[in-house]
Structure 1
Amino acid sequence: MAKKKQEQQEQSQDEHVMAVLDKRTNKTAVISKMNEQDRSIEVVPPDKKNNNSFLKLDRTTPLELFFTNFKNQYQNPTSFSFFLVPLAVLDKTLNAVIQIRKGEDPGPDGKKLVENSELNDEGRIAKLARRYKFDEHQLPWKDLNALGLDKETLFNNHCMGELLKGRITSTALPISKEINGEKKDLGEACFMCVKGADGKVELKTLTRLDKPQYDLPVYKGVFTDEEKDKLAETGTLGGIKEMKDT
């Protein structure tokens, strides 16, 4: 009996719902349905009797498309705030939201509940979005896996946070590729994630070079022979060079 109750509590903690606050009326509601065609929403009051009508989500659910369409549908989307709230603490979180809107102090626990659940206008947890540029599910896992990299490797080499922040990884990782059914080692590389023109996150692979590539057109006329010798001898130029972005 105790084990079953514990399992139910754990499941409840994993279940999230998306709550909405209308800042014009200070009324809250819970989303019950997202229409597939236009991504419009239907809501119900956040009462326990409507529990079965709540749309159940998790923290990794990609919501960017919904928020883009939502902003296009409403003339003033800033009148609304959204929260991805664990179902188990829905009442406490929404009460704290209303208290803050009224200028009241919900206490440290209430502030933490709101901070951990408030979404930004891209559908990402606002607190994490301020820290990270991307969410974990946005990373180009297909491209990473094709180079022999997985989540565990990135975590173990302290590279996951750097990728999520949009930085170049400080550690060069061994990469490989399967060619005609055979695994081929491709040396080492650092990585960086950037958002492309289509909004998708792309992987930039920065391979480690065994020797300078001065013969490439992009480097033509950039370094003098003296500077090349200095780079070969010391590994540093001791100054800054301006290059044209081709």
Structure 2
Amino acid sequence: MSEETSNRQETPEQLSDILLVLDKEKMKIQAVKSIDKNGKMETVDPTKKNQSEFMRVDKSGDLFSNFFSNFWRQLKNPTQFSFFKVPAGEAVDKAKEFQKQVETSTPEGEKEMKKHEVKAEQQKEQKQENKKDMATTQTTPDTGEYRFKPEHIDWETMNNLGLGKERLEKLNLLEPLLKGYKTNELVPVSVNLGGAIVRTDARLSLQPNEDGTVVAAIHGIRKEPNLNFEFFGHKFTDEDKKNILDTGNMGRVVDLKNYKTGEMMPSIISVDRLTNELIALKTDFIKIPDEIKGVKLDDVQKQTLMEGKP
């Protein structure tokens, strides 16, 4: 080996990888640029022109595992995305290849994408010492950070709905469900009614039963939001109905009643864009920033945003 060869240092491209991301709603491959303190990810088109803006991650296994676990925890709606780690020098070509696969799927293309795909669960699995078990066991993350525990779920009923644990894990839906979130996409559900089987698409969430078990709540698709009946004690006015149908938000804060506790909760009401189901959000959970894109908001503007007005 020559002295020149032995002293040669690896370039940044050789030492680092690039994170590509598939937005499952837009069905588009992008390169990750950054993630802000609020968990919003910024991306750029994966072109040679934008290469200097690509987020670079260390190739080292342990360093990347720690980085991606932290990245995943910060990210809002992580299940909306699939991530792929590719060598920096191949990022542009791989992005084109993956986009082609998204648009026209082939078995070979699917295999290549799976080869580069990274998941938060995988990073935890890589740290397990028992390599034999690692190959056959799906790692369940620390349940301390979740609202529900997998062992409390009524899996018999879930299996009857076609929503077994393995399927939810494969779809990357189990973790957000355990955290108490709705799925951010529609999921095919089959309901056996004895003499008939009903198949529908729905968003899912988990909710506790009085006996301590946890069951699935199925949020099916509605033709339109039901505004003719009271919603947690609120009766919709004609103006409320018009605002909801026109904009998806009611445009004002109202007191909703928690029938279990009797508590009155100042909330805003809007429509789930995937199912047309009415949803409510307590104003306590809404945080309005002091400024947006360098523009300082006054009290009137903050109140407008708080009430969901356009």
TM-score normalised according to structure 2 size: 0.35
Larger-Rg structure: 1
TM-score normalised according to structure 1 size: 0.43
Q: Which has the higher contact order (CA 8 A, sep 6+)?
A: 1
